[in-house]
Structure 1
């Protein structure tokens, strides 16, 4: 197979996290034309500023700091796809310097296949609340919570900014669909679904890892053989993969395949051939 013709360029001095210094009137006016997570459409300047005010130091600029000239930073990005079931990849995943997880990141009882460590947990308010509801019967009763774990919120709607301000102010959400809640824990036309389209949470985590890690290994992501696997590794009966209207999974399948074949990531494709 020939590598893809696209050229991928990493600009390392671009920060991957939002800080207080980024929120200016001029920047808000520029980005209010774009929907979250690409910009601030339908989110007020006040709500963006209130959330970002908690992040005002150099410690918030990067996911992690590494010394120059050190060993390569190796990262494992772990999706929840059925390719991980009976994979035996747990020790391999935990051997990385950092482990990224998303959504219903169930570890207990699946350590042999998915590992046990969580360095970064990527989520939106929607995926966090949805995962706690939909995967509760499989044992997902709280998000990863260890001394190593750092939470990364992907602001996809106004609710994410309200959530972040509330969490870091130790107060209930003040307005919107989550008011009074307390917290501790594309390539084709979308028609009427266009306003809710965004990359999947796993895609954001993987692309972020590509930007900050020297070696990026992806596990549990959708591949061309998705029909052979249950939807999620933690399901005890076979569940068909669901293509949600707010994500372009066909585009993501091609992108992960292209990046793997180009040697930019190492993609675990599962242990079932064909499809």
Structure 2
């Protein structure tokens, strides 16, 4: 079914993105020798919940999963309680909670045998060792919803939690998610006697790829990750043609299809090997996912119906829902806290900030693969190139307020310097 090419009416999202947010991120102090961002938080007039209000530390939960913080393990017997549901309207900057770094860990038995795996490098890196959690839960399934988790994750806005979302809609979607038997998807697919390293190419859409001739190199990896407006037709020589994983939010996918329809992006990747990774940044992602699960039309109130009335149409007829993975908010919050914490969070625009979809996808690959090569991501000389590799005329990269591309650029450069990833750069 072709994408709706009629121009949709302006929405709050588009106004925020195109007008209010069309400003560069605030100036930021550089990385120190230890790789930590220098970031002194100003005092605010709000009061976080105390430990007594947040947690009941008694017997551990009777489950193989563990709530993890790098300071202590917190087990709860009763749900967390607050007098009123938390809402982002109460805060002028990002609130900091005592359960900020409480994450759900997995007990995956799949272990890498690759001697140069990122997981091994992380443990031997003075910079990455204190940041990296190899057992972090990456994807959600139907076991991850209950009233206790609803209240815990209600302390954080999406995509880092469930604050301001609708309990009934989130619960309905969550309980319909298929089981994820092993969080380490790629390791679980390997034969026990296979000692090879899992190599992954993560392909961004940066203009640096135009004329690069890297298509064969990209496709030679075991897995290829792509994001948003991943136009392939006509650019195979530069970006390859395989897609193992396609990362998106409901909004970025549908707007990419709309804005790039005439450029050749008329459907999302649908190769036999393709799986999908959804990042839930808003209630509309759950509403979109519900429509996909039930094969129903989107409500006009959501706003996404201006782009696609029936979301299932973007997938093959007999779509296997085990191929669609939904990222856990703990994983997104962990990435924000430890790798991609922008100073935007300290000001009035805190509630619109999130790492870019490309950044989230690259970090997801970092936790699934042994070896990661990043293509089409921002480098120090980004101003030399157009915003996208498929731009017919050169377009400058716009630094929107809801992302911090300059911070991401610094992180990719540091990871390349530490030999954690291989970042494609032009000489």
Q: TM-score over 0.5 for the alignment?
A: yes
* Matched residue, 1:188: 343
Cα gap change, 1:14/1:187 in structure 2, threshold over 3 Å: closer, same or farther?
closer
Whether 1:176 aligns to 2:302 is yes
Q: What does residue range 256-275 of structure 1 map to in structure 2 within 5 Å?
A: 256-269=412-425, 271=426, 273=427
* Count of residues paired in the alignment: 270
* Distance in 2 (alpha carbons) for counterparts of 1:82 and 1:233: 4
* Distance in 1 (alpha carbons) for counterparts of 2:360 and 2:414: 17
Deviates more, 1:235-244 or 1:200-209: 235-244
* Distance in 2 (alpha carbons) for counterparts of 1:155 and 1:25: 19
Q: What does residue range 66-105 of structure 1 map to in structure 2 within 5 Å?
A: 66-67=189-190, 68=192, 70-105=195-230
* Matched residue, 2:141: 19
* Distance in 2 (alpha carbons) for counterparts of 1:225 and 1:87: 15
Whether 1:38 aligns to 2:163 is no
* Distance in 2 (alpha carbons) for counterparts of 1:245 and 1:131: 19
* Distance in 1 (alpha carbons) for counterparts of 2:407 and 2:360: 14
* Distance in 1 (alpha carbons) for counterparts of 2:156 and 2:290: 21
TM-score with structure 1 setting the length: 0.92
Say if 2:213 and 2:237, in contact at 8 Å, map to a contact too: yes
* Distance in 1 (alpha carbons) for counterparts of 2:423 and 2:401: 24
Question: Which residue, 159, 169, 187 being the options, matches 1:47?
Answer: 169
* Matched residue, 1:162: 287
* Matched residue, 1:125: 250
Whether 1:142 aligns to 2:267 is yes
- C-alpha displacement at 1:59, in angstroms? 4.4
Deviations 1:67-109 (A, max 9, x none): 3453111000000000100001000000011111001000011
Deviates more, 1:132-141 or 1:176-185: 176-185
Aligned-CA RMSD value? 2.0
Q: What does residue range 192-203 of structure 1 map to in structure 2 within 5 Å?
A: 192-203=348-359
* Distance in 1 (alpha carbons) for counterparts of 2:143 and 2:298: 24
Cα gap change, 1:3/1:79 in structure 2, threshold over 3 Å: closer, same or farther?
farther
* Distance in 2 (alpha carbons) for counterparts of 1:62 and 1:181: 34
Say if 1:163 and 1:173, in contact at 8 Å, map to a contact too: yes
- C-alpha displacement at 1:50, in angstroms? 1.6
Deviates more, 1:201-210 or 1:125-134: 125-134
Of the two, which has the highest radius of gyration? 2
* Distance in 1 (alpha carbons) for counterparts of 2:202 and 2:143: 29
Deviates more, 1:12-21 or 1:239-248: 12-21
Whether 1:213 aligns to 2:369 is yes
TM-score with structure 2 setting the length: 0.60
Deviations 1:126-184 (A, max 9, x none): 10111112222321111111111111110000000111111021111245333682113
